[in-house]
Structures are given as structure tokens and as C-alpha cells.
Amino acid sequence: MGFAKPPWGGKLKGVVRILGGKARGVALKVPASARPSPVRLRKALFDYLRLRYPRRGRFLDLFAGSGAVGLEAASEGWEAVLVEKDPEVIVATYPNALETIRSRPGWSRIQAVRTGRICVYTGGEDSLLSRPGPRVAQALRLLVDCFHGR
């Protein structure tokens, strides 16, 4: 017995909204291959983290398919790092990033490296991305431009 094809063709591209912090309400387009974390899970996680770690710190999202959890962390004031197994785009914030990334063994198989979609930010833009504070909207614009190849 087989299953019927989903009415959306199996390539649902949804939208996830940032729930809190400085980017509250910002809509994120979700790639068809990603399964974003449910709203209840993100809300519970950040309610707990706000209470447990009021001074914030670093947040590592190792399964950043849609990026919703990591971007939620950045919006809440955490220094967020998002990691994806085979990213379409790489964002780096150190001066010799391009040469370092291209010279690493095995990295030539990563989609972003093969297609040249590596965005390097230095000289002020790096701190805007790693510690955006009240400039989170500017940081998100930089990332959007990078992701859309501008």
C-alpha cells in the first residue's frame, strides 16, 4: 500500500517567524529540505535559557537546517554560530577565510565551496555579525544579501 503524493508536491516552502528578541516577527523562508523546529520547542528553549542564563553567552546550533533556532538565539542576544553539513552558503568573519576554506582537505566537496558562495565579512562587519546587539536588523540584512548572492 503506497501513500498519496502530498497536495503541495512534497516541496513545501514555508515561513518561520522569529519569536522574541530584537528581530521578533521577522519572517524566514524555509528551504524545502529543512524541517524547522516547532514553535513550542523554540519558545520553551529560550524561556528556559533566558531564566537560566540571563547574561547570555555563546549559542551553537549544530543542526541549522532552517536556521530558525540559531537566528532566534542571535535575536535574543546570544553570540550564535550555525553549522550545516553541506551548506549552500558559508559566512565567515576572519580576514583570510577564503584561502583557509579553499585549502582545507575535503572542503572542495562542500556545495558552497564548489559554487563559490562564500561571504567573508571583516573590518566592522564581522562584529556586526558576531555581536549585533541593537544592530541585529543590519546584521540580518547582510546575511540576506549574502544568501541571495548580492
pLDDT tens sequence across 68-78 = 898 899 999 88
Give the per-residue pLDDT at 9. Answer: 44
Give the per-residue pLDDT at 82. Answer: 81
pLDDT tens digits, one per residue of 95-107: 888 888 888 888 8
Give the per-residue pLDDT at 44. Answer: 94
**Contact indicator for 78, 21 with CB cutoff of 8 Å:** no
Give the per-residue pLDDT at 5. Answer: 41
pLDDT tens digits, one per residue of 115-145: 999 988 888 787 888 777 788 888 888 888 8
Domains belonging to the chain, first-starting first, are 15-147 (3.40.50)
Give the per-residue pLDDT at 6. Answer: 37
Give the per-residue pLDDT at 46. Answer: 93
**Contact indicator for 99, 126 with CB cutoff of 8 Å:** no
Give the per-residue pLDDT at 28. Answer: 83
Place 81 in a pLDDT band, splitting at 50, 70 and 90: confident
**Contact indicator for 129, 121 with CB cutoff of 8 Å:** yes
Predicted TM-score (pTM) of this structure: 0.54
Give the per-residue pLDDT at 3. Answer: 42
Q: Give yes or no for residue 41 having a pLDDT over 70.
A: yes
Alpha-carbon 93 to chain mean position: 14
Phi, psi dihedral angles at 20 (to 5 degrees)? -150, 180
Give the per-residue pLDDT at 4. Answer: 44
